[in-house]
Structure 1
């Protein structure tokens, strides 16, 4: 296959196997080096310079060579004939090597990611300690059994007979995927690599500028285990600036790939949509926001208010509220015309503000400062008391805003909007198709509103305080992702 678009100068000699980092992280002039992985082979180069999203830190990468990157349609992927059981064995082995204390690639990624992104170093460390929790044999097998009616369809053609006695053979065929990785958590890269392996896909991972290091660190670890493993050879990881038509006009074509797996903000997803069409589809993990709904039981007494405030804060501060599942609006069942009930709601708001200012596994007591647009909006509300009330400061320690309707700005950086509602049913009108997770207190009242929430477009209803906790095998963003990744093909004998 020959692609006529400009290609790179010959890549540098790939690093030799071994756990020692194979090139300096920083070349001259303070620019970080981001290697590419091309079909399992690490490639270094200083051909193109970029700036990271959060802090504008310069980094350099090799130039993309399309002829090296793209696998022709005439070739099956390297992992095509590898049994899923062997892939599970391999992923479990990889997870054992993703030990931050022993893995220099993760250690290097930790230091570099802390330089280019807003996530605090301690939270990155905690994230790097998680692979062993979701890359266990039991977790992977349970997920496959839940997602696929018969996981054997990942390995070959499985026969089924319909009520008329007609037989067909179905296969979950390995796809060709471009993954636009999320940059708000290193765990997204680890999960995406595991998912890509399980469906035996040919993969190109687009590295995010907020973290161009984690995916490469995982792939380099895989190379140390077995540089010729078919799963590794089916994977490439490269960086380009999102929206660069010179790259995307080539890659985003049905002649090369089946689907793009899109994580990212609205602008990034909208940019991808213009490339979709027959034979090239988008599986979108759309930008989402979350909320919480709290019954008046939470205001019963001071002890209960403290406990519920802690549950709400634990959810709202997930990744310093940068996670999709972190609630930004919390509707609380309360009669706003009753002075006593409103006073108890205000007491709850004050307690919530205190609990926002706490160090947690995936939250900082002091996070990034409140954005200027939120400060300006909140300053204007201070003249509208008592209908509006504010607790907290703009220093990243937490801000709570009580208002009669949801505020018209996007709460972020540990900013929580409290809205009194007459009933939990009334609170469901704040949900829409962009609402991912809704935490409910008390949990036994979820049944009252879950159908209304789902009708509005909500994808997940949880106990308040458990937004970061998920049951294995659940759908994500309204789908079973692996089911969407594969190409479903039938060999029909009718």
Structure 2
């Protein structure tokens, strides 16, 4: 039976249901069809005309998100149930993976304290987006950039949710371009806003659509020209497209392709170490930038670690089964296994290609089919690992045991690692941490300063700033500290 899913366009918080709209058909990785409306000039006009004055304070913003999150928290919420079903039927997620994705959406929306702390840590103050606050010799306020265009990737649905939440917390409008690999997440999220309050300011600030980079992009270029800030996610080609079509005077936040690894430093608790590393391999089936692809083991008990890693990967095959793999992906997995066997590497493989452990020399790397395939390298010291830490390439280094991260972190940071986490925590971006070397919310606002008048004395100059008098009497140097 042919299964076809229609995913509507949303403009200004309103679902567009024109029956005459031209349709684009996508075939997803399990050969099922998704129909998406093609944007036309009337859609672009509507997007340009949207001007929502967001006068909400941060408390009101967070409370709205929390209300939406409470719906996602309920396993009976129809939008959540449909979303889980779509991830399974069209993206090939296992039931456990799909449910976990929905659970994380609920977690992100319901974590009120975290939402407040994200603003405080990134912008330096909870109040700076609501009011003028004194800083130094000025009053400063952070204003939203305006129209934020989000070019989402499909490999990690939660990255799109995070992107949208950051824009909402800074009171920006959102124009969201979904990925062909995941046309569901953004639409499900914004539809849940509509469910809660269709006339809410935040809901009316949201638009979701799809366009293909390979087709006529005259209309997408108009949309891009209206951007006040662009947030681009994805691989090299996606980032290049975003850079090419973002106006030269507009900020662009680039979350491009990165790689990550694990360091296992002679652990005493082999079960704890292997469990954490297994999680970092299995989450998103290594599709995420933070996913471990290489393990560097320091110590003399490598065989024991690999034995335990095998047990933990087998456990994860049960508690968080892999998603659907098409013929090409299975073939790439098999080819990698055969190549490594031919090279004389030690190979261990799970049933039904559920995982692959390859023990190889430090300077030897084969193909990486992802899909829970990992290379293990035996080293003596951190200095042997450092050449494989590269600026703008290495995102996350997970370390076990955690105490070892303190002796490694200075050198890891110097060589270019952007995140250092405990093994088993690579998918949890802690509040206060940077993301790809930046504080994203700072790029979603414009800082405006009202600077104090001449009568305001400073720490260094305890008299009024009378510049004309200084010139007339040639006494400027008297006031130099």
One fold, TM greater than 0.5? yes
Is the Cα contact below 8 Å between 2:282 and 2:316 reproduced in 1? no
Is the Cα contact below 8 Å between 1:439 and 1:462 reproduced in 2? yes
Matched, 1:142 2:142: no
Q: Deviations over 1:208-257 (max 9, x none)?
A: 2222122222222221222111111111001122444234322221xx11
- 1:72-221 equivalences under 5 Å are 77-135=51-109, 136-162=111-137, 167=138, 169-221=140-192
1:400 corresponds in structure 2 to: 357
SS at match of 2:376: strand
Cα distance change, pair 371–246 in 1 and its aligned pair in 2 (3 A): farther
Partner Cα separation in structure 1 for residue 45 and residue 315 of structure 2: 47
Matched, 1:478 2:437: yes
Matched, 1:422 2:380: yes
Matched, 1:389 2:346: yes
2:276 corresponds in structure 1 to: 311
**Which stretch has the larger CA shift, 396-405 or 278-287?**
278-287
Partner Cα separation in structure 1 for residue 47 and residue 188 of structure 2: 27
Partner Cα separation in structure 2 for residue 434 and residue 86 of structure 1: 38
Cα distance change, pair 482–320 in 1 and its aligned pair in 2 (3 A): same
Matched, 1:246 2:218: yes
Aligned Cα RMSD in Å?
A: 2.7
Instruction: Choose the corresponding residue for 1:349, options 293, 298, 306.
Output: 306
Partner Cα separation in structure 1 for residue 407 and residue 207 of structure 2: 47
- 1:271-350 equivalences under 5 Å are 271-295=241-265, 297-298=266-267, 304-334=269-299, 341=300, 344-350=301-307
Cα distance change, pair 103–72 in 1 and its aligned pair in 2 (3 A): closer
Partner Cα separation in structure 2 for residue 133 and residue 424 of structure 1: 36
2:405 corresponds in structure 1 to: 446
Where do 5+ consecutive residues of structure 1 fail to align?
Answer: 1-27, 335-340
Deviation at 1:394, TM superposition (A): 7.9
Partner Cα separation in structure 1 for residue 278 and residue 108 of structure 2: 25
Cα distance change, pair 305–84 in 1 and its aligned pair in 2 (3 A): closer
SS at match of 1:54: coil
Instruction: Choose the corresponding residue for 1:55, options 18, 23, 30.
Output: 30
Higher CA-based Rg: 2
Instruction: Choose the corresponding residue for 1:260, options 214, 222, 230.
Output: 230
Q: Deviations over 1:173-207 (max 9, x none)?
A: 34311111232344334333322221111111112
Is the Cα contact below 8 Å between 1:38 and 1:236 reproduced in 2? yes
Instruction: Choose the corresponding residue for 2:15, options 25, 31, 42.
Output: 42
Partner Cα separation in structure 1 for residue 398 and residue 152 of structure 2: 26
Is the Cα contact below 8 Å between 1:153 and 1:171 reproduced in 2? yes
Is the Cα contact below 8 Å between 1:100 and 1:128 reproduced in 2? no
Cα distance change, pair 348–411 in 1 and its aligned pair in 2 (3 A): farther
Count the aligned residue pairs: 445
Is the Cα contact below 8 Å between 1:357 and 1:365 reproduced in 2? no
Is the Cα contact below 8 Å between 2:44 and 2:222 reproduced in 1? no
Partner Cα separation in structure 2 for residue 154 and residue 142 of structure 1: 13
Is the Cα contact below 8 Å between 2:336 and 2:369 reproduced in 1? no
- Larger proportion of helix: 2
Deviation at 1:454, TM superposition (A): 1.4
Deviation at 1:395, TM superposition (A): 3.2
Deviation at 1:491, TM superposition (A): 4.5
Is the Cα contact below 8 Å between 2:40 and 2:219 reproduced in 1? no
Cα distance change, pair 411–320 in 1 and its aligned pair in 2 (3 A): same
Partner Cα separation in structure 1 for residue 192 and residue 248 of structure 2: 37
Cα distance change, pair 366–134 in 1 and its aligned pair in 2 (3 A): closer
Partner Cα separation in structure 1 for residue 162 and residue 319 of structure 2: 17
Where do 5+ consecutive residues of structure 2 fail to align?
Answer: 454-481
Cα distance change, pair 356–481 in 1 and its aligned pair in 2 (3 A): same
Cα distance change, pair 358–109 in 1 and its aligned pair in 2 (3 A): same
Cα distance change, pair 101–58 in 1 and its aligned pair in 2 (3 A): same
SS at match of 2:245: coil
Deviation at 1:155, TM superposition (A): 2.2
Partner Cα separation in structure 1 for residue 334 and residue 67 of structure 2: 48
1:21 corresponds in structure 2 to: none
Partner Cα separation in structure 2 for residue 375 and residue 72 of structure 1: 47
SS at match of 1:87: helix
Cα distance change, pair 235–417 in 1 and its aligned pair in 2 (3 A): same
Is the Cα contact below 8 Å between 2:12 and 2:50 reproduced in 1? no
Over 6 Å off, 4+ runs:
none
Matched, 1:232 2:203: yes
Is the Cα contact below 8 Å between 2:259 and 2:289 reproduced in 1? yes
